[in-house]
Amino acid sequence: MRTRLPSLVPLMLVAATATPMAPRALSADYSHYVSPWKTPWTYQGPRGAAHWSSLDPAYEICNTGKAQSPIDIHNARKAHLPPLRFEYKSEPARYVINNRWTLRVNYHDAPGTGSFLVIGDKRYQVIQFHFHHPAEETIDGKRYPMILHIMNKSSDGQVVGVTVLLKKGRANPLFQSILKYGPATEGQVAVPGLEVNPAAMLPRDKAYYRYMGSVSAPPCTEGVLWIVMKTPVEVSEAQIQAFAKLFPDDARPPQPLNGRLVEESE
């Protein structure tokens, strides 16, 4: 079953921040498919990333903000960062969504149930995950073929995005399921019986970088805490090409660091 949906932006959950490494509660809930941001935008051309601020006053921070994402990660400072505990589990996908900019799977769990990222004593519930081709974050100037973004939200509205770098290698079964059911045009496809677990696309080594950034697409709201896993995960060349056929380039270029601190787990 396919349901045609209105023209929408790819939503990443949004937060503001009170300290350099501590996101605070969302001012709005961006976990749903429907977005309040209606002005059309693209990644390239006259409505591309270099012009987002001029398209809509709501997008102004895209080209004027000082803590935008993605970034090139280099000269990261070694730090004693808290370990990450991924309490992710298999859950019904319900739909695979093509929102014009990526393939995405939303989670529909009630608060306090479902899959969680745990950092220290704080729990962040998985809200959705989606992909970009090529990668948005780069490492010392190196750009990977793709990335996975997993968005997680705490009960008090704090949000953490997890980036998994994807490299060429063996096919990934979870990614193959998403590609199999992902609609070729904007809309969503019901997938009854499909179980998904983003843990299937996490590296075994849980070393990571972290920095404060923003949503990487309009409205580019700043204050998102990004966790970038250091070890890439394999997907096949055929899988990369299948996604690229749908989304030839859905990655925002790296943004200026503007003095932000990037930390690296020891």
Spell out the domain ranges in the chain: 2-265
Average pLDDT score over residue span 251-261: 97
Decide which of 128 and 22 is more confident: 128
Calpha distance 138→73 (Å, rounded): 6
Tell whether the model's pLDDT for residue 35 goes beyond 70. no
Supply the mean pLDDT for the chain: 86
Per-residue pLDDT at 59? 95
Those residues whose C-beta lies under 8 Å from the C-beta of residue 107, and which sit 6 or more positions away, are: 91, 114, 115, 125, 126, 127, 128
51-65, 78-92, 147-161: range with lowest mean pLDDT: 147-161
Give the global pTM.
Answer: 0.85
Q: Report the distance separating Cα 230 and Cα 14, nearest Å.
A: 23
- Please give the share of the chain, as a percent, with pLDDT higher than 90: 74
- Contact predicate 183/2, CB 8 Å: yes
The domain made up of 2-265 is a member of CATH 3.10.200.10: yes
Q: Is the pLDDT of residue 147 over 90?
A: yes
pLDDT digits (tens, 9 = 90+) for 176-190: 999 999 999 999 999
Instruction: Determine the Cα–Cα distance for residues 241 and 256; give it in Å rounded to an integer.
Output: 29
10 Å CB burial of residue 198 (0-12, 13-18, 19+) is buried
Phi, psi of 237 (to 5 degrees): -60, -40
Q: In this model, does residue 21 exceed pLDDT 80?
A: no
Q: What is the number of other CB atoms lying within 10 angstroms of the CB of residue 89?
A: 13
- Token reading at 216: 């990487």
Are the C-beta atoms of residues 106 and 94 closer than 8 Å to each other? yes
- Report residue 9's pLDDT band, with 50, 70 and 90 as the boundaries: very low
